[in-house]
Amino acid sequence: MYIDTHAHLNYEDKYGDIPSLLSSLRAAGVDAVVNAGWNYASSLLAANMAKEEPMLYFAAGVHPSNLADLAQGDYGRIAGLLSSPKGVAVEEIGLDYHYGGADKEAQKRAFCEQLELADALSLPVVIHSRDAAEDTLRILKDNRAKLARGGVMHCFSGSPETAKEYLKLGLYISFAGPVTFKNARRADEAAKAVPADRLLAETDSPYLAPEPFRGTLNTPENVALVYAKLAALRGEETQALAERIEKNARTLFYKMNDEKRENGHGKV
Ligand SMILES: [Zn+2]
Nearest in space to 125 (alpha carbons), one of 142, 141, 103, 140: 140
CA of 266 to the centre of ligand 1 (A): 31
Report how far ligand 1's centroid is from the alpha carbon of 259 (Å).
23
The dihedrals phi and psi of 21, each to the nearest 5 degrees, come to -60, -45
How far away, in angstroms, is 8 Cα from ligand 1 center?
6
Tell me the pLDDT tens digit for each residue of 60-95: 999 999 999 999 999 999 999 999 999 999 999 999
Which residues line ion ligand 1, judged by CB < 5 Å?
204
Predicted model pTM? 0.94
Per residue in 234-261, pLDDT (tens digit) is 999 999 999 999 999 999 999 998 766 5
What is the rounded radius of gyration, in angstroms, for the C-alpha atoms of the chain?
17
Cα(68) to centroid(ligand 1), Å? 17
What is the pLDDT at residue 150? 98
pLDDT at 266: 45
In order of their start, the domains of the chain are: 2-40+56-262 (3.20.20.140)
Residues 6+ positions from 95 with CB-CB distance below 8 Å? 64, 104, 107, 108, 111, 128, 129, 130, 132, 135, 136, 139
Residue range 99-144, pLDDT digits in tens? 866 799 999 999 999 999 999 999 999 999 999 999 999 999 999 9
Predicted confidence (pLDDT) at residue 267 exceeds the cutoff of 50: no
